[in-house]
Amino acid sequence: MKTADRTEEPANALDVRGLRLRLPGTARPVLDGVDLTVAPRETVALVGESGSGKTLTSRTALGLLPPGATAEGRVLVDGEDVLTMGPDRLRALRTGRAAMVFQDPRAAVNPLRRIGDFLTEGVRLGGRTDAAEADRRAVELLDAVGLGPELLRRYPGQLSGGMLQRVMIAAALMGDPALLLADEPTTALDVTSQAEVIALLDRLRERFGTGLLFVTHDLGLAAAISDRVHVMYAGRIVESGPAEELFRRPRHPYTAALLAATPRLDAPPGRLAAIDGQPPDLRLELTGCAFAARCRYATELCREQAPAAHPVACHHPLEGSRADA
């Protein structure tokens, strides 16, 4: 997938530098030195197993920190640091320059309120537009996601899962965001609806100039929609690169293991590959590489010393035939 020319764009939609997030009761950071950027009109995928820190990273971009969390580093959204914003500025950010599409659309809407109220409430309460202009914008965005204006009068229970997820995307675009965060947005949908939503996000990203951070555990989806990919494990980004290159020739053993465990139609019959073991317990101190206990290439160096983060967080990055294994 090709992205538009961004040479005239002055700031990244998202710029995360040295993000460390600690939670009460943990022995080490749950996010440990995360660096990533999302440019305008770019799609960046954040992939990894459940518990790797993907969702927490995306929520931090909206200032949605867990209770008791302490954060270090910078999280710039459209040039402003989220970590230093007060409550009023954060509310304005969430109804304007940044928005999120959540995993389950039915969990994010009030079933007793009409779709029109859901779409327009944020921009009206933010005081940026009047009711008539908010309604006009809602109709425009429903059309952009392939839905008609009659949905404004309907209730969530009258819509299919695919239609409601399209409504969620329209709602996220109401404030003309520079950054759109999509957290597993197709998990609750059937295969046909998944493909439609992915194609829709791609079209809207280009049409509205929005930077898209796409959070997923599905490497197939990441390959289909993203320009660049960050692979997360135990709160760290262990490998990054252009999507086509990273999936063709992974260099971190964890990335290679994730790809090997991805079901493929052209694979021979047999059991699916799996990554043995579990991610490290956050309640315990960690020495060395977090993936060492599950890695078939690990050495004493891996168990004793954490690797540097760039360009691949591995003491023994894969090359040649090992990367194809």
Q: What is the pLDDT of residues 21-77, one digit of tens each?
A: 999 999 999 999 999 999 999 999 999 999 999 999 999 999 999 999 999 999 999
Q: Is 212 strand, coil or helix? A: strand
pLDDT computed for residue 128 by the predictor: 66
In a domain, 44, yes or no: no
Residue 120 lies inside a defined structural domain of this protein: yes
pLDDT in the model for residue 189: 75
> What is the arithmetic mean of pLDDT over 316-324?
72
Residue 184 belongs to some domain of the structure: no
Look-up of token digits 């404030």: 175
Arithmetic mean of pLDDT, 274-281: 91
Q: Is residue 176 part of a domain?
A: no
The phi and psi torsions of 276 (rounded to 5 degrees) equal: -65, 150
Indicate the pLDDT class of residue 322, thresholds 50, 70 and 90. Answer: low
Residue-averaged pLDDT of the chain? 89
Q: Work out the pLDDT band at 210, boundaries 50, 70, 90.
A: very high
**Residue percentage of the chain with pLDDT more than 70:** 92
- Mean pLDDT of all residues in 283-312: 93
Distance in angstroms (rounded) separating the CA atoms of residues 101 and 194 = 14
Structure tokens at 309: 């983060």
pLDDT tens-digit series, residues 122-145: 777 665 677 888 899 999 999 988
Q: Give the amino acid at 193.
A: S
Does 139 fall in a domain? Answer: yes
- Please give the pLDDT value at position 221: 86
Establish if 152 belongs to a structural domain: yes
Give the per-residue pLDDT at 24: 95
pLDDT attached to residue 63: 94
Q: Determine the Cα angle at 58 with ends 75 and 54, to 5°.
A: 120
The predicted pLDDT at position 126 comes to 60
Supply the pLDDT for residue 139.
94
**The model's pTM:** 0.88
User: Residue 105: pLDDT band by 50, 70, 90 thresholds?
Assistant: confident
Per DSSP (E only), the strands in the chain are 14-22, 31-38, 43-47, 70-77, 80-81, 98-101, 179-183, 211-216, 228-233, 236-242
Does 4 have pLDDT greater than 60? no
**Percent above pLDDT 90 for the chain:** 63
Exposed / middle / buried, residue 263 (Cβ in 10 Å: 0-12, 13-18, 19+): exposed
Rank 52-56, 106-110, 263-267, 316-320 by mean pLDDT and report only the highest.
Answer: 52-56
Nearest to 31 by CA among 43, 19, 42: 19
Range of the structural domain that residue 116 is part of: 111-167
Count how many domains the chain has: 1
175 located within any domain:
no
pLDDT at 1 over 50: no
Task: Let me know if residue 122 belongs to a domain.
Answer: yes
7-21 pLDDT, tens digit each: 454 589 999 999 999
